[in-house]
A and B are shown apart, each in its own frame.
Chain A
Amino acid sequence: MKNTKRSKLAQLFLSVFKLSACTFGGGFVIVPLMRKRFVEELGWIEEQEMLDITAIAQSSPGAIAVNASILVGYHVAGIPGALLTVLGTVTPPFIIISIISLFYQAFRENAVVSLVMAGMLCGVAAVIFDVVIDMAKTIFQKKRVLPFFVFLGAFLAVRFFSVNIILVILVCGILGAVETQYREKKQKEGGAK
């Protein structure tokens, strides 16, 4: 019995380790891969549960990949499982970046590398603009006024008035909570009539 539990934990750790090591390009990519591994292959998590996990991972602070693996670990083996999966998710990027940092100085002084890096920086800027446009579309398609002003206000505050980012996040979060409460209240009143 103890042995099967241990092998389950080992399998859990190895699964997230491999997923993390092979996931390029942001947190949204790891979720479908996790679903494949834990729902389809291992059958440890149900389909609906995985959707819930995704929702919580996206609504919580921090990296989606880390959040999702905490939830998977917690679900499979409680708090020890969660700690194990965090470790499994963080270790691959930690090792890779540590190795890169070792060579960073020499790497950066190399003429060829610095030209390639300069070119890639243009690529990163393009990737981020692309992501921003996709994200902005989902907001503006709803044609509501508040999100538009929040976007504009936050942009001006951060870009031109150097307002503290954390302050902007807190204010907008509270604004969102209040608006949701207000709309729900209105809906209820509307239903009562």
Chain B
Amino acid sequence: MIYLELFWSYFQIGLFSIGGGYAAMPLIQNQVVEIHSWLTMTQFADIVTIAEMTPGPIAINSATFVGIMVAGLPGAIVATLGCVFPSCVIVMTLAYIYYRFRRLRIVQGVLAGLRPAVIAMIASAGINLFFTAVYGTTSLPADPGRINIAALIIFLCAFFVLRKWKITPIKVMAGSGIAGLILFSLF
């Protein structure tokens, strides 16, 4: 039953992506690419790119995208529901406890323990995307010399600009897109 699988996968993504922002990314890759093979790594990289360029959280964006790819509009609705369901229950419970007791020490402790792990997992997913960008595979190939120089240059420039001037990601993305169009058609 595809709808149930979609719901359950996105339920897990919603439940275990703690720490906001990009924390959902490794989980999405794990569920959607590795476990269920609903998307290829290229399609996953595409949806991460699209999510970065469009409003909305990456988990919701990918739920809609994967749902439509796998089971049409109903699939998208089911995946999105699965994704927000854990939030609804947990956030309302936490809010209730919070307003009642005004302290969430244990929750903060869990969060503090999780944060380094979440960063490590985002780093790992980032490395996958980097390899996809410069090698076309998610891991280091046997011949690291077969690197796409143009892609590496765009990556390095984007990275430099981000670190140096703290420009908004959306501008960096737009610039990288234009640079890609020019450099990749030249080489």
**A interface residues with partner B (beta carbon < 8 Å):** 20-28, 52, 55-67, 70-71, 74-75, 79, 82-83, 86, 90, 92-94, 96-98, 100-101, 104, 108, 112, 115-133, 135-136, 139, 147-148, 150-155, 158-159, 165-166, 168-169, 172-181, 184
Q: State A174–B58 Cα separation when bound (angstroms).
A: 26
Tell yes or no: B2 within 8 A of A by CB: no
B52–A127 touching, CB < 8 Å = yes
Tell me whether chain A's interface is mostly helix, strand or loop, or mixed: helix
Interface centre among A56, A108, A153 (most CB of B within 10 A): A56
- Residue contact B49 to A121, C-beta cutoff 8 Å: yes
Expressed in whole angstroms, the Cα–Cα distance for A55 and B109 within the complex equals 13
Q: Are B76 and A94 in contact (CB under 8 A)?
A: yes
Contact of A123 among B50, B132, B158 (CB under 8 A): B158
Residue among B26, B60, B124 with most chain A CB within 10 A: B60
In the complex the two chains form, what is the Cα distance from A29 to B44 in whole Å? 24
Q: Are B12 and A116 in contact (CB under 8 A)?
A: no
| Interface 0/1 of B46-89, CB less than 8 Å to A | 10111011111111110011001100010010001001101110
A102 to B112, CA, bound (A): 41
Binary A-proximity of B151-164 (CB < 8 A = 1, otherwise 0): 11011101100110
Q: Find out whether the CB atom of B60 lies under 8 angstroms from the CB atom of A66.
A: yes
B154–A122 touching, CB < 8 Å: yes
Q: Does B4 contact A (CB under 8 A)?
A: no
Least CB distance from B91 to A in Å reads 5
Q: Are A139 and B87 in contact (CB under 8 A)?
A: no
Q: Which B residues lie within 8 Å of A57 (CB)?
A: 20, 91
B110 at the interface (CB under 8 A from A): yes
Inside 8 A of B95's CB, which chain A residues have their CB? 56, 70-71, 74-75
Task: Give the residue name and chain of the B residue nearest to A148 (CB).
Answer: B116
Which 5 pairs show the lowest CB-CB distances between chains A and B? A176-B113, A119-B180, A93-B56, A180-B109, A123-B176
- Residues in B whose Cβ lies below 8 Å from that of A83: 88
Q: Is A63 in contact with B12, judged by CB distance below 8 angstroms? A: no
Chain B residues positioned under 8 Å from A61 (CB to CB): 14-18, 86-87, 90
Given the interface contacts A121-B132, A136-B119, A154-B121, does A62 sit within 8 Å of B83 by beta carbon?
yes
Question: Which residues of B in the span 141-184 have a Cβ within 8 Å of any Cβ on A?
Answer: 151-152, 154-156, 158-159, 162-163, 168-170, 172-173, 175-181, 183-184
Collect the chain B residues with CB atoms within 8 Å of residue A64's CB: 20-21, 57
Chain B residues with a Cβ closer than 8 Å to the other chain, count: 101
B1 CB-CB contact with A under 8 Å:
no
CB of B49 within 8 A of CB of A62, answer: no
Q: How far apart are B117's CB and chain A's nearest CB, in angstroms?
A: 4
List of A residues within 8 angstroms of B21 by Cβ: 26-28, 64, 131
Whether A127 contacts B84 by the Cβ 8 Å rule is no
Taking the nearest CB of chain A, how far is it from the CB of B122, in angstroms?
A: 6
Q: How far is the CB of B59 from chain A (nearest CB, A)?
A: 5
Q: Is the CB of B181 within 8 A of A173?
A: no
Q: In the complex, A60→B69 CA distance in Å?
A: 29
A128 to B16, CA, bound (A): 19
Q: For A94, what are the chain B residues with a Cβ–Cβ distance below 8 Å?
A: 56, 60, 64, 76, 80
Contacts of B15 in A (CB 8 A): 61-62
Residues of A within 8 A of B83 (CB): 62-63
List the B side residues contacting A178 at CB < 8 Å. 109
Say which residue of B92, B110, B133 sits within 8 Å of A177 (CB atoms).
B110
> Contact at A70–B92, with CB atoms within 8 Å?
yes
Tell me the smallest distance from the CB of B131 to a CB of chain A, in Å.
9
